[in-house]
Amino acid sequence: MSHDSHGGLQGWDLEGFHNGGDTEVWKRLGAHVVTVHDEERGELTGTRFAVWAPNATDVRINADFNWWTGDPLTRIPGTGVWATFVEGVGDGTLYKFNILGADGVWHEKVDPMAFFAEQAPANSSIVYTSAFGWDDDEWMAKRASKNMQVEPMSIYEVHLGSWRKGKTYLELAEELVEYVTWQGFTHVEFLPVSEHPFEPSWGYQVTNYFAPESRLGKPDEFRYLVDRLHRAGVGVILDWVPGHFPKDEWALGRFDGTALYEHADPRQGEHKDWGTYIFNYGRNEVKSFLVSNALYWATEFHIDGLRVDAVASMLYLDYSRNEGEWVPNEFGGNHNLEAIDFLRYVNRHLYERVPGITMIAEESTSFSGVTQPTNLGGLGFGMKWNMGWMNDSLRYLALEPIYRQWHHHEMTFAMVYQYSENFILPISHDEVVHGKGSMINKIPQDAWRQFATLRAFYAFMWAFPGKQLLFMGQEFGQRSEFNEAVSLEWWVSDLWGHHGLQQLIKDLNAVYRAHPALWQLDGDPAGFQWINADDAGHNTYAWVRSDAADQRLAVVVNFSSEPWYDYEIGLPQAGRWSEIINTDATLYDGSGIGNFGEVTATAEPWGDFPARAKVQVPPLGAVILRYDGDEPAPRRATASTGAELTA
């Protein structure tokens, strides 16, 4: 053969991969339709196949073009990569690598770099070249100049396979986009879309890190969904899972007969709880693989943020392990130093390469510096899920109102550490599965009190410092736990209670986006001041939010079943305060107790505040007041019917 049998791939192309510095390894390994020059026949088009299997003694390609009989690959000198060029083979080709491992056993494996894969239970890799033309230039240009820590971020968390069961990427690009836009969320966050054969894993057990799941369509159809969301003004966050991978014998595990991507020692290389392998973060090729995967989703799919799953499991060598089941680091401690270095590397690299990206940690411990820059010794994430706030809040909500006074501090404690990290307040899928009950069913007493409490809580959440995330179905009070096998119970969203809750979320999002006081200074103590954090006897909380221009909002939330008439609060300014949210409004299926659109504060000191006012606080309800001074009152609905119409 007079042309290059490796399809143009040379040893020097792989140096970065082997030293841990190749951040675009998907351009070199895997299957690529290429054109090579043959001295006798001129230009030849076909597919180059390349795979890393350093300990293999033979590698073959089993494919539909050779009736799955196996054509040989040859090792590129000086590397652990095997490659071949097959003329006349192009997009749509089904293939797998057959690897004779160091253990003397043939292992048929899918391509770790495949861009597309067969739908489970089949699993062949598919040669795929994107032909998508992006139409989101305006979004990408605006995103590049934004720092989401000082922007509004209201996230709708979605499991694409069951939001409306059976819908494709193309159908979701119409229906999901229309719904999210109507509800007013700024972002969606997708549970992992990387190919995963086991649906009940929800995508958290990934077998193809570079392939969007084929159950819902082709990769370019997923690109279309992202593009449509961007054109509608909605950002896209993707769950990313570098913490572990499943043991399916045809996937990454023991790839060339040895522990290639994972540690060989089960004390380092296996998660007993999940039955999965742990990546070897200290291996250069694994670092190249994972950092490339993060950059791949950000650049090839225009993803606006990656939420890194199970960060705590990566940080601690003794995560969910008993004494003797883990190996200390070189200093005798329990921190996984290689994983920490890897996370810093990924975060630093993506923030440098992708303008406007947001890296988010799901980290359930008090590990220091998760959102501190790497040059200051932090992990370099932009934001962190506030799991402490979530646990405290849900524990409080589950109490009968009469007992809440003894747990009052659980709703205020988050302010003790609010400025230690950049937080997102998450009510995620994890809180509505496995017997935990849906949000509405966590709350005691009858349906009226359940819906009223949940409305008050969502107002508390939207008005509290930190961005917010809500899992699909919880915006209309679905009573069933999340079940990936069926659609959300959309039919209930037209019923009493459910529809009112859904309307409140829409209005909360509108008020939130319109008022920088609710998001601009989330990470700055100047943006928050307690009015009264200690009124346990009334189960009531009150605070002020401010923006950089000194616009003020006052928030009063009552988690008691009793209304508080003429409830006195301090305020930072005398004058008219317009009621822009009342969760007890009849529009939201409440009882209509409120302030008839406004409250007047008089210049009489109250505590540390120069003014005071009397507020009608509904039972299990919240009101949000905006300072409007002596300006003419804006057109608005009455307090008994809903949020201000011009918010």
| Residue reference for tokens 């069926």 | 486
Amino acid of residue 352: E
Contact call for residues 505 and 475 (beta carbons, < 8 A):
yes
Contact call for residues 289 and 242 (beta carbons, < 8 A):
no
Count the Cβ atoms, other than its own, within 10 Å of residue 419: 15
Q: In whole angstroms, what is the distance from residue 308 CA to residue 281 CA?
A: 15
Contact call for residues 107 and 99 (beta carbons, < 8 A):
yes
Contact call for residues 155 and 237 (beta carbons, < 8 A):
yes
What is 393-454 written as a DSSP string?
HHHHHTS-HHHHGGGGGGGTGGGGSGGGS-EEEEE-GGGGSTTS--TGGGS-S-HHHHHHHH
Closest of 254, 207, 243 to residue 104, by C-alpha: 254
- 362 assigned to active site: yes
- 40 assigned to active site: no
**3-state SS of 247-302?**
CCCCCCCCCCCCCCCECCCHHHHEECCCCEECECCCCHHHHHHHHHHHHHHHHHCC
Q: Which helix (H) or strand (E) holds 224?
A: helix 219-231
Q: Determine which one of 136, 362, 363, 589 is catalytic.
A: 362
State whether the Cα torsion 247-385-312-474 is positive or negative.
negative
Angular region, 525: left φ>0, alpha ψ -120 to 50, beta rest: alpha
Closest of 117, 255, 291 to residue 196, by C-alpha: 117
Bridge partners (DSSP) of residue 239 are: 307
Angular region, 635: left φ>0, alpha ψ -120 to 50, beta rest: beta
Cα-based angle 497, 502, 506 (whole degrees, multiple of 5)? 145
Closest of 231, 221, 222, 235 to residue 135, by C-alpha: 231
Q: Determine which one of 189, 309, 547, 589 is catalytic.
A: 309
What is 92-144 written as a DSSP string?
T-EEEEEEE-TTS-EEEE--TT-S-BPPTT---EE----------HHHHHHHH
Q: In whole angstroms, what is the distance from residue 262 CA to residue 244 CA?
A: 9
Q: In whole angstroms, what is the distance from residue 420 CA to residue 368 CA?
A: 8
The residues annotated as belonging to the active site are 309, 362
